[in-house]
Amino acid sequence: VNAQVYVSYIRGYYLQSGLMCSISVLGLARYANQQYTVDLIVAFSVFQVLMFYHSSRISNRVREGIALQLSNAALAQQLRGLRTKVRIDAATDALTGQGNRRALDALLKQQLEFSVSTGQPFSILMLDIDFFKKINDVHGHLVGDEALRSFAQRVREGLRQGDVCTRYGGEEFLIVLPLTPLQTALEVAERLRLAVEAEPLPTTPPLAITVSIGAATYKAEQTVDALMAAADAALYMAKRSGRNQVQS
């Protein structure tokens, strides 16, 4: 009665017990002393009915317990999914789908620690869309938001596997290039600049834009703030030198 196969599949138990009961009754009718046959059959039948009754109640409770466990397991899985989503949302820029400043800070800290422990270089690129304010002024902020999303998508498509793009703020983006020396970082930056310049963004209306990029590579004992300042200074130089170019 207490076996899981019975309590979770009570119909199978009823079938098996019913067959056993039928065989037992037939055996009693054929072989038992006639004086006790009727009493034995009645007693056995009453016992079997009671077993069916109590087994049914036990089965219902066990199945309710199993259903509750499954429900709790599904709820726990849903909560784990929600927690994961919350963590992702907390580190993602809602407009562009790129990492936000929180994700950037964690990534730069991780890269710095790795570089210090292994001696491997890493670089960053700071990107700024040229004359972005004019887009907002002429076409409105909705078109400006669409342009930022399209720009982020184009940048993503031009990155190597392992490179990470984040939105630094406004129309500025910062890309982290793991295991990348300065010369390679400059090559990546130039490829991105050309890809942005090559064709208009698929916005409404299509927008032809350019981007200025500043590159910097981590140096020994340099802080994250100093590295960011170097990339920012390179970006400022690109802007002052006419925009739509890469500087380091």
Instruction: Write out the DSSP string of 135-152.
Output: HHHHH-HHHHHHHHHHHH
Structure tokens at 4: 């899981």
- Asked whether the bond before 121 is cis by omega within 30 degrees of 0, the reply is no
Cα–Cα dist 119/219, whole Å: 10
What would you report as the CA-atom Rg of the chain, rounded to the nearest whole angstrom? 36
Catalytic residue among 64, 157, 171, 190: 171
The CB-side HSE value for 121 (13 A sphere, CA atoms) comes to 12
Q: Which helix (H) or strand (E) holds 168?
A: strand 164-169
Name the nearest CA neighbour of 155 among 118, 116, 129, 183. 129
171 belongs to the catalytic site: yes
Name the nearest CA neighbour of 211 among 163, 248, 174, 243. 243
Structure tokens at 74: 């599904």
Cα–Cα dist 239/206, whole Å: 24
Amino acid at 27: G
Name the nearest CA neighbour of 115 among 163, 173, 181. 181
Name the nearest CA neighbour of 122 among 163, 173, 167, 165. 163
Q: Which residues are catalytic?
A: 171
